[in-house]
């Protein structure tokens, strides 16, 4: 689905964040992008969203070169991106209103898009019915995040991009939304790319984990959807491995640039 080919990008000419970077994401996969602060995690997400354009190389999604934001991609930001003067219901329906304004132009709205107002469905599905007429300042952080998810899913995306969406939430709410995200991706057949600075979150959501840094590496995590995986030894082993790699104590196979499966 996603192909990054010889990707080079930097905010200044002499300090590239990515240089000759290649990466493949298949449809239906869940990927977590992990790394230390300033390593380029969010920059990569913005490149995938079409909000940044590579200096050299290219990004293709479904075989088409990405040169602008793609209407079939959904982006959920860390601060939720909700309009403070709009109710939960109005925020959830904002994307559909924008699409209605532009019409079937292939840029803001996918070609042959069949408009279907599923805002009420997603409000109910995400447990927001009781707060649908309240404003963002009147609801909890978890409810604001669910509103952002409802707004995105109402547009029927095939690719979901998330930038540290649960970092400001309490532990219980964060875990509930992590489980919800995985179940929605499976239910809606979504491809997920989520940026996180949390090793545990990356291991909880990413069927594959891209560790961004001077030498990007991929960790296979095939058990991510297993029951009670987070309490398993395999989960702890993966977290330990990621922790050591981030601290500069790589697994022997990783020093050879190989994928590692736990």
Taking only the tens place, the pLDDT of each residue in 124-133 is: 999 999 999 9
The mean pLDDT of the chain is 88
* Residues 164/195, Cβ–Cβ less than 8 Å: yes
CATH 3.40.50.300 in the chain, residues? 28-54+166-262
Tokens of 127: 């447990």
CATH 3.40.50.300 is right for the domain spanning 28-54+166-262: yes
Is the pLDDT at 2 greater than 70? The verdict is yes
Is the pLDDT at 24 greater than 60? The verdict is yes
What pLDDT does 252 receive? 42
Report how far apart the first and last C-alpha atoms of the chain are (Å, whole number): 24
Average pLDDT of span 5-9: 94
Residue from 191, 172, 169, 170 nearest 182 by CA: 191
Is the pLDDT at 251 greater than 50? The verdict is no
Q: Which residues contact 157 (CB under 8 A, 6 or more apart)?
A: 72, 73, 74, 190
């Amino acid at each position: 689905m996603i192909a990054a080919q010889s990707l080079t990008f930097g905010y200044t000419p002499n300090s590239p964040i990515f240089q000759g970077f290649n990466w493949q994401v298949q449809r239906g996969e869940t990927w977590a992008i992990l790394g230390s602060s300033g390593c380029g995690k969010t920059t990569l997400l913005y490149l995938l969203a079409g909000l940044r354009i590579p200096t050299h190389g290219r990004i293709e999604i479904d075989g088409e070169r990405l040169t602008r934001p793609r209407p079939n991609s959904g982006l959920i930001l860390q601060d939720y991106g909700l309009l403070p003067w709009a109710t939960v219901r109005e925020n959830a329906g904002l994307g559909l209103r924008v699409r209605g304004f532009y019409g079937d132009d292939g840029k803001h709205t996918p070609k042959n898009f069949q408009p279907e107002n599923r805002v009420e469905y997603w409000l109910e599905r995400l447990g927001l019915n009781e707060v649908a007429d309240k404003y963002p300042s009147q609801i909890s952080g978890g409810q604001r995040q669910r509103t952002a998810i409802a707004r995105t899913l109402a547009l029927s995306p095939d690719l979901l991009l998330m930038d540290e969406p649960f970092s400001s939430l309490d532990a219980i709410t964060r875990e509930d939304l992590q489980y919800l995200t995985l179940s929605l991706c499976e239910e809606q057949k979504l491809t997920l790319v989520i940026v996180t600075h949390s090793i545990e979150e990356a291991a909880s959501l990413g069927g594959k984990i891209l560790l961004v840094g001077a030498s990007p590496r991929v960790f296979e995590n095939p058990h991510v959807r297993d029951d009670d995986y987070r309490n398993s030894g395999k989960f702890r082993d993966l977290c330990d491995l990621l922790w050591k790699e981030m601290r500069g104590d790589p697994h022997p196979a990783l020093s050879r640039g190989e994928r590692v499966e736990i």
